[in-house]
Amino acid sequence: MARRIAAGAAYGGGSIGLLGAAAVGVLLAEVQLAKRHVGSGITPVPPNADGRYGVAFTGPAEPLRLGLLGDSTAAGQGVRRAGQTPGALLASGLAAVSERPVDLRNVAQPGARSDDLERQVSLLLADPSHTPDVCVIMIGANDVTHRMPATQSVRCLTTAVRRLRTAGAEVVVGTCPDLGTIEPVYQPLRWMARRVSRQLAAAQTIGSVEQGGRTVSLGDLLGPEFEANPRELFGPDNYHPSAEGYATAAMALLPTLCAVLGLWPETDRLDGARREDMLPVAKAASQAAREAGTEVTGARAPWALLKHRRRRRLPATTEPQQPPKTEPATPSEPHAEPRQEPREEPSGESHGEPHGESRNLPAN
């Protein structure tokens, strides 16, 4: 099915139906029941996390430029502090590993579907002198919940990846999360949501890898770990992740983000103990969709590398010590202030944040 979706997206095929007609009535009833519970809590507006991270590493090297695109999960909806958003976590981790400042620009839009990526990419590429070095795209959940045709969804994503790669940016795609583990969703809608979201994630992988991007399965974002700990890893609306949930997702993406920038040497040697392999891209995509945190990167067509990168815990002293608000700024420079509120700490220092004491950072 993922191959058919990707082929339809690439060659202009029409919609591929994923639901049988007999199931529609039952599923619509389940959807209405779920809507009574999902979003019943108060969801704060995503905090603005744009700015410079790792200012303690300021030196002769130019700052790395990180762009974030996608939907509410990329924007960080569900948390109140900028330092708890995935963009801030990724920028802080990237600065710590590279020992260079990182400029973050997040153009993600809550509620966005894949057809909004064209607008978001245009925003990021509007100034050719500030093209991002690397972009992270997190999209797909709203495509499923709003029943966007899968071929259209993948076509929009692959077009965005191609535009960014043509502009010179590396691209890492966090594929559609497993929507079958949202707590208020019941059977059979839970089973169908899991099936459809995994099929879309696999098709996203095929399309993105073919355009030169890398993908990371985000099943853990709403996957088994969230299912086992819903009160800890879901936000107050029972749908968007909490601070701990976003940290889990960001740490799944960070190893690939560092690898694509060459922050440690790549190797073609595959570790069988970690179930790494070289597979046809469609098979690698399907396997990655079933196991969260799995990276898929293109090799020799039509093959792809399936990797499970290691992570290790680093002490807090390895983190940047200066948040962006310590950059030189005076009252006559109003543009320096809106980056962060005084209470927000994008660098992830310990000021009451759940992950202030230590951070999982990757090791190859």
> Catalytic residues, which ones?
72, 237, 240
Q: Which residue in this structure is represented by tokens 């599923």?
A: 27
Q: What is the gyration radius of the CA atoms in the chain, in angstroms?
A: 20
Q: What is the separation, in whole angstroms, between the first and last Cα of the chain?
A: 33
CA angle 191, 196, 202 (to 5 degrees): 125
Task: From 259, 299, 252, 293, select the one nearest 279 (Cα to Cα).
Answer: 299
115 and 79 Cβ atoms separated by less than 8 Å: no
Q: What's the gap between Cα 132 and its chain centre?
A: 16
C-alpha dihedral, 22 to 144 to 260 to 130, nearest 10°: 150
Strand duo 64-70 + 134-138: pairing: parallel
CA angle 297, 299, 303 (to 5 degrees): 95
The SS3 assignment for 361 reads strand
Task: From 81, 80, 91, select the one nearest 52 (Cα to Cα).
Answer: 91
